[in-house]
């Protein structure tokens, strides 16, 4: 059960859009429509931002969107705001080894 | 709304067993709609799923930890628990409990508790 692959860091300016990728295999990301994304500020618990590839929980801004193509899922944040600066983790259901996380991506808002 | 709270010792000696409990409030662990998970995060590192349990007692564990992990549930107390045996310094982490709404969608999370393995 290998971790999903995410870029270590991404950056953007306020108002811009950024995309974070999450690459897995046909046994996890590519095999199920069960990809979720989490935002984590320093010292805080992760917060669910996207589930089932592209669904947003109640209360999450529509600036956050998710998608998937093949074995790669993506999180897009539009209209970047300073409060979006945080760590972001993807996660996928993986069948017999039920859950696998990505290594995490640090988003810097310049 | 549902809230989760971890509790347990913050310091465990090497080779001993780490034991944590997660208390669920604002909802019933027996509702049957969710799995109840443990997830950990070593200092400065990423998230690692440990395992989850259904209210009936069915469990699923991370294969890399399976030989050392036991997750149990006490529906009468609305709690579920984690035991991790034979701990080493590599098990030092913030341990979170979380509700899985299905398909690896964890929400909400507890605030987390730091467990340090040291003599």
pLDDT given at position A52? 96
pLDDT of A1:
63
CB of B107 within 8 Å of any CB in chain A? yes
Which one, of B103, B102, B117, B113, lies nearest residue B40 by Cα? B113
Q: What percent of chain A has pLDDT over 70?
A: 99
Give φ, ψ of B89 to 5 degrees. Answer: -60, -25
Between chains, do A101 and B110 touch, taking CB under 8 Å as contact?
no
Give the pLDDT confidence score for residue A54 in this predicted structure.
97
Average pLDDT of B21-50? 94
Whether pLDDT at A10 is above 90? yes
Touching check for A38 and chain B: CB below 8 Å? yes
Considering only CB atoms, B103 lies closest to which of A51, A57, A103, namely: A51
Q: What is the pLDDT of residue A99?
A: 94
Q: Cβ of A88 under 8 Å from any chain B Cβ?
A: no
Average pLDDT over residues A39-61: 97
Integer angstrom CA distances of residue A71 from A27, A48, A54: 9, 21, 15
Strand pairing class (A72-77; A18-23)? antiparallel
Do A99 and B51 meet the contact criterion of CB atoms below 8 Å apart? Answer: no
Smallest Cβ–Cβ distance between A48 and the set B47, B105, B111 belongs to B105
């Amino acid at each position: 059960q290998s971790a999903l692959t995410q870029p270590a860091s991404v950056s953007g300016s306020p108002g811009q859009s950024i995309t974070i990728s999450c690459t897995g295999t046909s046994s996890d990301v590519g095999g199920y429509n069960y990809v979720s994304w989490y935002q984590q500020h320093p010292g805080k618990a992760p917060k669910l931002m996207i589930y089932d590839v592209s669904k947003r929980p109640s209360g999450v801004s529509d600036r956050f969107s998710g998608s998937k193509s093949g074995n790669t899922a993506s999180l897009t944040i539009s209209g970047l705001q300073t409060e979006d600066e945080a760590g972001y983790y993807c996660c996928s259901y993986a069948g017999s080894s039920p859950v696998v996380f990505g290594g995490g991506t640090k988003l810097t808002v310049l | 709304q549902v809230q989760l709270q971890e509790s347990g010792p913050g310091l465990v000696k090497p080779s001993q067993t780490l034991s944590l409990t997660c208390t669920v409030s604002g909802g019933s662990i027996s509702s049957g709609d969710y799995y109840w998970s443990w997830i950990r995060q070593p200092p400065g590192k990423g998230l690692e799923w440990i395992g989850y349990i259904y209210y009936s007692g069915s469990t699923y564990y991370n294969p890399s930890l399976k030989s050392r992990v036991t997750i149990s549930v006490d529906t009468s107390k609305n709690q579920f628990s984690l035991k991790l045996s034979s701990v080493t310094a590599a098990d030092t982490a913030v341990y979170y409990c979380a509700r899985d709404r299905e398909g690896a969608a964890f929400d909400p999370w507890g605030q987390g508790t730091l467990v340090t393995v040291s003599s």
